[in-house]
Structure 1
Amino acid sequence: MKRLYFALVFISIAVFASAQELKKLNLEEVIAGGKNYRNFIPEYKNISFRGNTDELVLNESDSIYLMAGYQEKTLLFCITEINKLLQEKGLRETKNLWNIQWLNMELFWLNNGNSIVVFNSVLKTIDYHIHFPDEAKNIDFNPKAQAIVYNYKHNLYVARRNQEPVLVAKGSDKGIVVGQSVHRNEFGINKGVFWAPSGKFLAFYRMDETMVTDYPLVNINTRVAEVKNIKYPMAGMDSHWVSLGVYDLENDNVVFMSTGEPREKYLTNIAWSGDEKNILIAELNRGQDNMKLNVYDSRSGEWIKQLFQEKSDTWVEPENPPLFIPDGKNGFTNRFIWQSERDGFNHLYLYDLDKGLHKQLTKGSWVVTKVLGFDANNKHLFFESTKDGGALNRNLYQVALRNGKITRITSGDGMHATRLSSSGAKAIDVFSNVDTPREISVIDIKERSTEILHRAKNPFDGYEMGNIVMDTLYSADGKTELYSRMILPPNFDATKKYPVVVYVYGGPHAQLVKNSWLGGARMWQVYMAQQGYIAFTMDNRGTPYRGCEFEKVIHRQLGEAEVADQMEGVKYLKSLPYVDADRIGVHGWSYGGFMTINLMQKYPGVFKVGVSGGPVTDWKYYEIMYGERYMDTPDENKEGYMGSNLNERTNDIQGRLLLIHGAMDPVVVWQHSLYFLQQCVKNRKQVDYFVYPGHEHNVLGPDRVHLMQKVTNYFNDFL
């Protein structure tokens, strides 16, 4: 195998400490939920902009500071003062100040658990508060309306300042969901309500799941176990119906958009036009290969027109709603930014609501990963992308709306995660790379100056750590670069032979290798290297941020290109003189669990040990939104479903395999691994199995330490 590029990045964790002084990590320190886990995350400072100003504020658990520079801060408020004001109003006290949000120079607000409370930081008073029930969920506050919307006992309510809550829409426990996320959180959907810019109107989802099959989960925490049914539409089966309503706060009435037939489609990327006369909906057919951006009259619900259409031979996946450009007068123009992969990479397009496409703003063999907003004159748009440094890096850029000129704002290779001030004059940059734990800076965009506000110390200082090797390999087609990361054991000796644990995910929307702290590695991999393993990970084709050709090669044949690419990583490992080719193990969860079993089946004897968590074993048991995007329906793609069916190939497994599943998993339902076990029994194939009662798709909280101890023990015992 020809190697295109090779780079060694050495992390010297304890340069001045002798070998005798270096400490070892334990699972309580490297696993989320562990007793000391937070001590090993690079320190973060919650620095933000003060409302609509360029001033910086620092939120700590018990204090709010005005921040002037590196360790230069002035106390604005402490939790004692805030709780005293809450007591005086008979309101519930707050436990910390992490969730403070600034509205403007004077006002900020917090959620104390049963009220949204707005404070005046100048007068040091409570301006107003809006109460909600303790059991309320999905609370969404709109400062302009001085109102909140929330779910309570399946229903949707709006509560305005000094007014009683109003019932907006009724739901039920029988399959009517209102004001909540729909389509199983695909297509960038993470909530179910959408305020108009003025706060006078509220759009909300209504989902009818009554036709969707009930899927049984079993609660064992009662004397007689109880069935807990969830709505779970499997690939090829009946899907839910979604509609979009608009509530008028002044007139207290609801109008639904006339989205029409067929009912089985996806209503995504909801946006209000600047004048609030229209609602824009990206409507995707069930086959997910045809998207229409439609415009509706927000008052009558009538369809007005189709702005444009996007089609694909694979899939179309809109994930970002239209972003309307402000007019500088506290309003919005009819022009908006649309993100699309229509040219093979996610880029920005400038549209006019009346005239259609104006121009493509960005182009090239790189992807826009995030849009932040505009400058004060609305002449420039800020975005993050892979433009410089490829998928391993992120940087902040601005593009001129007039001529498309792009200017890079951040400097230094690595991952830059940025926030923009409302004026667009400054940005807060949270940065890391392989050997930089975390730096937080403020950037003056006009002056092109950067001031560091916080440098996190190396949390592993004084601990025994191995070196990180970042490499670039070829894919199985011999054409495409793939990025890998290898963590070597401490005190590595190239004359010795080491076992390898390959950690894999390999599916859409997950990048594991990046130029961030520890190369993006999970701390468990750092721990395993400390135990004497080489910890290896590679992102195969099908993973994100590399463009459509790279990502969509998996269409209708999940587990083919991904596994072939992972084996190129294994070939690379076997070529290294210090790798013990007879002791290679593999571990992954969810899609990675599917990949783990798939690798062991298609390449028997290569992997001595595998641990598969929450695996998809047959895609016909997976849900519609995700499953049909990549595989179409079982009737449309019989060959693809058969080729990816792990249950049909249990006889091919060699080596030790442990399967783990959460008994209450609503994502990859328990049926997957249970049916796989049934086939193993039928074929006299011995595998190991462990279940986590009460846990869902992943094992979270303190029990996660138990999970990773189980995984670690399995490799220690058999690898």
Structure 2
Amino acid sequence: MRKLCLLAIFGLLFTVKSQTNTANTSTSGKEITLEEIWNGTFTPEYMNALNSMNGDFYSVLNVDPATGNTSVDKYSYLTQQKVETIVNSKDLYGLSSFSSYSFNNDETKLLLGTDFKKVYRHSYKGTYYVYTIATKQLALIGKDIQEPTFSPDSKKVAYAKDNNLYVRDLVGNAEIRITTDGKVNSIINGTTDWVYEEEFGFVRAFDWSKDSNYLAFLRFDETEVPEFSMEVTGNSLYPSVNKFKYPKAGEKNAKVVLNLFNFSQKNIRRIDLRGYEYIPRIQWTNQPDVLSITTLNRHQNDLKLYFYNATSKSSKVVLNETDEAYVDIQDNLTFLADNSFIWTSEKDGFNHIYHYNNDGTLKNQITKGSWEVTNYYGYNKESKKVFYQSVENGSINRGVYSINLDGTDKKLLTPKSGQSYASFSKNMQFFINTYSSANQVPTYTLYSSDGKKIKTLIDNLELQIKVKRYNLSKKEFFTAKINGNDLNMWMIKPANFDPNKKYPVLMFQYSGPGSQEVANRWNRSNDYWHQMLAQKGIIVAVVDGRGTGFKGRDFKKVTQKQLGKYEVEDQIAAARFLARQPYVDASKIGIWGWSYGGFMSSNSILKGNDVFSMAIAVAPVTSWRFYDTVYTERYMTTPQENPSGYDDNSPINHVDKLKGKYLLIHGSGDDNVHVQNTMRMVNALVGANKQFDLFIYPDRAHGIYKGKNTRLNLYTKMTDFVLENLKNK
């Protein structure tokens, strides 16, 4: 264990508390190569995504590697044995394979999907069929449709096509067209626009009432939303242009309204709501004619939960949450039998679980403490227990807990240290826990809901043995008092570390609001790259500064209206702290990041030019004026209201400070953080007569991965840049 004394450096106070063992000093292992990182050598074995079924069963989509046939197979939670094959594509006429499936409520029918085509970053359209299990009949629903969903009574399927909403009557095999005004880049019915999909995290914008008589859906009017265009290089003689509606900060959003289709009366009714900009959630309650609606104002600091009664055509606000900064949208709204509901909120300063009566009055706060609930898993109506994940044992760890609805009898169900993620059965009687730590490969274990360990399903022992053959260093976790705050940090030192030598340092971070990079979990791809750099004599360090998550509301929201100020100050202060360590070469400290992290690394080398000698920015935001309304205005309000907040911390406005080596990388097909960000940065650097390095990946999106050897090429380029500019000659 490592403990550093209290230091006063340049007026900043630092204290460090060690949390793990020091680095491994073995030098007898193999060296990691980039080819191994990107060819899957270190990829752990994963469980296929499972779909929990009624009773104590789940289903899995399996692919026969020999024939390519796909099947949906049913398994027992308790025995983990296959019970039956529900459907196999080899038995289907006209459908050789499928890549998605979903059940109706009583699990007598399946929706099978194939031939998917991308719409936006997270949405697809495809060809879908209904398969009736008892008769083994297959019926086409439609081609190039989106989000098909069974009605609760299984007699209908709703779906979107060509920006309109449809319903297929399965009894009469008739198609009902709900809307007719859908038009690309103009009107969208039943699915979301680009910015809702990206920032509110959903695509299907319709929901069935519990009695299947109503279909509530959102209508987006994008007519006045500015259009963004991207040139697609492709393989043709002439490039093409991709155009889509993208509302940038301060610009017009789509006008969103909520409609209700009544199947009995065959009409559409608009639900009138007041004082909102966004409708990020709709969900029917357990009362068949009562719809819950979540709205937000444009600043996203005033959230209202409405109950709308379709029979009386009346609405009322049952919950209203406000915050000086913003209110997060969550998916944890759960209705109980009496239509009381469970809700999560950080209104007491930390994210916790609450139980409300059906009129919106508070019944009780279920969880309490100076720690965050990080996942809500559900409610078991039989045992009256709530299941959740939290950071009660330190913000870098995750544990799964049960607690009574009244807040009593809290129980930790999984290991105390490391990170556990639960996937519960539909009846909340079992869960499969995915567990890992910095020293433990991912394992998948079946538990009963009372925390009894039943069976290890995947142990990844082969990977655990494999990595021991490599010359890897242990992560050292610690906290440091930086700018008056206890910040989480980790460090990787070279395996043959000599405290009497001086080493260059590469810092990595993301730093976006509510994010986390310092976590007690198993290696990801970047971790192996960092290990490879450590093998070449570079110390790698990560610091989660102010604005990151899981340490309470105030710590996360301190960056409000000033993105890139406090986060950058913390990275610079942390670099100065590292520079004072006797084993660090203070003249060779670099930083890198991707997306928000690229915004951060750019600002860091500019504002911290006395401590950072190099930086890499991949797909960086260079001005929040270029990014979308929902994300940006949540933290910054609009550019019209907060111009200094946008401009004071834009890297574009600090290019004259560049002294070190700077590498800019971007994909020209990035529809999220547009390459415009990098091009405007380039123009500013040229105008300031600053030298830098630039690499553009044609047509690659924000992740820069599509195409042969793309990731290998990218990390080879970054490795060469790091070694050339940090490694001691």
TM-score of the superposition, structure 2-length normalised?
A: 0.87
1:159 is aligned to 168
State yes or no: 1:176 paired with 2:187. Answer: yes
Asked if structure 2 preserves the Cα contact closer than 8 Å seen for 1:129 and 1:161, the reply is no
Asked if structure 2 preserves the Cα contact closer than 8 Å seen for 1:468 and 1:485, the reply is no
The whole-number CA distance in structure 1 between the counterparts of 2:51 and 2:160 is 30
State yes or no: 1:210 paired with 2:208. Answer: no
1:706 is aligned to 713
Asked if structure 2 preserves the Cα contact closer than 8 Å seen for 1:269 and 1:322, the reply is no
The whole-number CA distance in structure 1 between the counterparts of 2:182 and 2:102 is 31
State yes or no: 1:83 paired with 2:93. Answer: no
1:194 is aligned to 207
State yes or no: 1:386 paired with 2:391. Answer: yes
The whole-number CA distance in structure 2 between the counterparts of 1:7 and 1:354 is 47
The whole-number CA distance in structure 1 between the counterparts of 2:725 and 2:187 is 49
- Secondary structure of 1:363 counterpart: coil
State yes or no: 1:27 paired with 2:27. Answer: no
Amino acid at match of 2:270: F
Deviations along 1:330-360, one digit per CA (max 9) or x if unpaired, are xxx2100111111111111111223622222
2:123 is aligned to none
Aligned-residue offset at 1:551: 0.3
The whole-number CA distance in structure 1 between the counterparts of 2:77 and 2:256 is 48
1:283 is aligned to 295
Asked if structure 1 preserves the Cα contact closer than 8 Å seen for 2:505 and 2:590, the reply is yes
Aligned-residue offset at 1:223: 3.5
Which stretch has the larger CA shift, 579-588 or 107-116? Answer: 107-116
Structure 1's 257 and 452: CA in aligned 2 closer, same or farther, altered over 3 A?
same
1:360 is aligned to 365
Structure 1's 447 and 174: CA in aligned 2 closer, same or farther, altered over 3 A?
closer
Aligned-residue offset at 1:612: 0.7
Aligned-residue offset at 1:538: 1.6
2:243 is aligned to 229
Deviations along 1:618-677, one digit per CA (max 9) or x if unpaired, are 222222111111111222223222211221111101111111122232222222221221
- Secondary structure of 2:260 counterpart: strand
1:306 is aligned to 317
Amino acid at match of 1:424: M
- Which among 146, 157, 162 is matched to residue 137 of structure 1? 146
2:120 is aligned to none
Deviations along 1:211-247, one digit per CA (max 9) or x if unpaired, are 1112222223353434332222222222221112233
2:477 is aligned to 471
Asked if structure 1 preserves the Cα contact closer than 8 Å seen for 2:624 and 2:650, the reply is yes
Which stretch has the larger CA shift, 306-315 or 215-224? Answer: 215-224
Aligned-residue offset at 1:614: 1.6
**Mapping of 1:534-549 within 5 angstroms?**
534-549=539-554
The whole-number CA distance in structure 2 between the counterparts of 1:141 and 1:534 is 54
The whole-number CA distance in structure 2 between the counterparts of 1:101 and 1:575 is 60
2:650 is aligned to 645
Amino acid at match of 1:111: G
The whole-number CA distance in structure 1 between the counterparts of 2:56 and 2:78 is 13
Aligned-residue offset at 1:604: 0.6
The whole-number CA distance in structure 2 between the counterparts of 1:520 and 1:659 is 21
- Secondary structure of 2:505 counterpart: strand
Aligned-residue offset at 1:58: 6.1
Aligned-residue offset at 1:152: 2.3
Amino acid at match of 2:476: M
Aligned-residue offset at 1:194: 2.4
Aligned-residue offset at 1:491: 3.5
Amino acid at match of 1:258: D
State yes or no: 1:716 paired with 2:686. Answer: no
**Mapping of 1:53-452 within 5 angstroms?**
53-55=55-57, 60-62=62-64, 64=73, 66=75, 73-74=81-82, 76-77=84-85, 82-86=88-92, 90-94=93-97, 110-113=112-115, 114-118=127-131, 120=133, 127-142=136-151, 144-161=153-170, 163-169=173-179, 170-182=181-193, 183-184=195-196, 185-221=198-234, 222-249=236-263, 251-261=265-275, 265-298=277-310, 302-320=313-331, 322-325=333-336, 327=337, 333-354=338-359, 356-377=361-382, 379-387=384-392, 389-446=393-450, 448-452=452-456
Structure 1's 518 and 321: CA in aligned 2 closer, same or farther, altered over 3 A?
closer
Asked if structure 2 preserves the Cα contact closer than 8 Å seen for 1:109 and 1:119, the reply is no
The whole-number CA distance in structure 2 between the counterparts of 1:694 and 1:575 is 43
Structure 1's 94 and 494: CA in aligned 2 closer, same or farther, altered over 3 A?
farther
Q: Percent identity?
A: 29
Asked if structure 2 preserves the Cα contact closer than 8 Å seen for 1:384 and 1:397, the reply is yes
The whole-number CA distance in structure 2 between the counterparts of 1:346 and 1:234 is 29
Deviations along 1:413-449, one digit per CA (max 9) or x if unpaired, are 1111112223322222111111111121121234744
The whole-number CA distance in structure 2 between the counterparts of 1:580 and 1:335 is 60
Structure 1's 646 and 161: CA in aligned 2 closer, same or farther, altered over 3 A?
same
The whole-number CA distance in structure 2 between the counterparts of 1:510 and 1:447 is 29
Structure 1's 695 and 475: CA in aligned 2 closer, same or farther, altered over 3 A?
farther
Aligned-residue offset at 1:553: 0.6
- Secondary structure of 1:562 counterpart: helix
The whole-number CA distance in structure 2 between the counterparts of 1:55 and 1:612 is 47
The whole-number CA distance in structure 1 between the counterparts of 2:78 and 2:425 is 16
Structure 1's 532 and 205: CA in aligned 2 closer, same or farther, altered over 3 A?
farther
**Mapping of 1:528-607 within 5 angstroms?**
528-607=533-612
Asked if structure 2 preserves the Cα contact closer than 8 Å seen for 1:51 and 1:103, the reply is no
Structure 1's 531 and 157: CA in aligned 2 closer, same or farther, altered over 3 A?
farther
TM-score of the superposition, structure 1-length normalised?
A: 0.88
Structure 1's 299 and 649: CA in aligned 2 closer, same or farther, altered over 3 A?
same
Structure 1's 573 and 453: CA in aligned 2 closer, same or farther, altered over 3 A?
same
- Give the aligned length: 687
The whole-number CA distance in structure 2 between the counterparts of 1:261 and 1:368 is 30
Aligned-residue offset at 1:496: 3.3
- Secondary structure of 2:611 counterpart: coil
The whole-number CA distance in structure 2 between the counterparts of 1:204 and 1:49 is 26
Asked if structure 1 preserves the Cα contact closer than 8 Å seen for 2:283 and 2:292, the reply is yes
Which stretch has the larger CA shift, 425-434 or 61-70? Answer: 61-70
Structure 1's 714 and 212: CA in aligned 2 closer, same or farther, altered over 3 A?
same
Asked if structure 2 preserves the Cα contact closer than 8 Å seen for 1:188 and 1:269, the reply is no
Structure 1's 638 and 493: CA in aligned 2 closer, same or farther, altered over 3 A?
same
The whole-number CA distance in structure 2 between the counterparts of 1:257 and 1:710 is 54
1:677 is aligned to 682
Asked if structure 2 preserves the Cα contact closer than 8 Å seen for 1:341 and 1:548, the reply is yes
Uncovered stretches (5+) of structure 1, i.e. residues with no partner: 328-332
Deviations along 1:55-107, one digit per CA (max 9) or x if unpaired, are 4666643374645778x7356339xx713321xxx2312267x8676966887
Asked if structure 1 preserves the Cα contact closer than 8 Å seen for 2:399 and 2:415, the reply is yes
Aligned-residue offset at 1:50: 5.6
